[in-house]
Amino acid sequence: MMSISEKIRQFALDAGFDKVGIVPAMYLDDETERFKLWLDAGHHAEMAWIARDPQRRTDPREIFPAARSVVVVLKNYYTDHRHTSPGKISRYAWGDDYHDVVGAALRTMLELIRTEVPDADGKACVDISPMMDKAWAVRAGLGWQGKHSNVITRDLGSWVFIGELILDLDLEYDAVQVEDHCGTCTACLDACPTSAIVEPYIVDSAKCISYATIEHRGESLPPNIAQNLEGWIYGCDICQDVCPWNRFEKQTSEARFEPRLGQTSLDPDAVIEMDHEAYVERFRHSAVKRAKLGGLQRNANYLNK
């Protein structure tokens, strides 16, 4: 007879996830120290919300006091298409917003768990929740954090979304972690056109194309970014595109991650001419809306220079 932990692992697969691990809900000690050093160095740039109340990010019991276990899941989002330039969109934003897709699957998991434990309670977390997603994926033994700071798996590469389901249940935990397999490789550091990976495992957001084209709210882009966009209008995948581990990438089974309208890029001229109504229609339920119309048009203007 399957234990509740075994059933939860099966529920994760039934809900559409590709990998799952279960670990105790506890304070992230070593990860917290690294996080604080990153913040102290100012590598979060203008993202003040990241530095706000760091304790909530390092202990799941701060956001769900009844927490006993963290079920960590990965969902493959790779689709077999290529970027076109200029106006390239980061691969993760080609399809529907992953917050919606992964969040719905986590809630489905919770409902399945309640068929076995009716009084079980939990909280679904996808990126915007104050959880250190990458740290939890590593702790759950799903992969390792590569030199580009993304989580890498041996069987899917790094094209994965991370989610957590925090539960008030004591479960059977995974104890084995995946060792770092980056070795002496520096492909991601060498390929970054703005040198945003300032040292292995450390990304300075202020130098990152992805940060600048999505999170940066200024009317202009920093010169180092503007001169090295390499065709990107929303995000950047260069460090993942060159990662040798992504030779193991596999086509996702999730149709909602296929490129909307078959597009992996946006015509800069069309973006510049886009009005708010057209923007809302084009990017409804898309992660691209994070950049807002003004941000996309700013980026498009730089691509046209």
Q: Which residues are designated catalytic?
A: 127
Which residues make beta-bridge pairs with 153?
A: 157
Q: Residue 146 is encoded by which pair of tokens? A: 């590569």
- Cα–Cα distances in angstroms (integers) from residue 188 to residues 153, 194, 232, in the given order: 16, 11, 17
Please say whether the beta carbons of 291 and 213 come within 8 A: yes
d(CA 251, CA 282): 25
* Continuous segment of H or E residues that includes residue 167: strand 160-167
The pairing of strands 122-125 and 160-167 is antiparallel
Tell me how crowded residue 79 is: count the other CB atoms within 10 A of its CB: 18
Query: What is the DSSP annotation of 51-82?
Result: HSSHHHHH-GGGTSTT--EEEEEEEE---S--
With 0-12 CB in 10 A as exposed, 13-18 as middle and 19+ as buried, what is 52?
exposed
Please choose, from the candidates 240, 252, 248, 281, the residue with its C-alpha nearest in 3D space to the C-alpha of residue 101. Answer: 252
Please say whether the beta carbons of 165 and 190 come within 8 A: no
Query: What is the DSSP annotation of 261-277?
Result: GG-SB--HHHHHH--HH
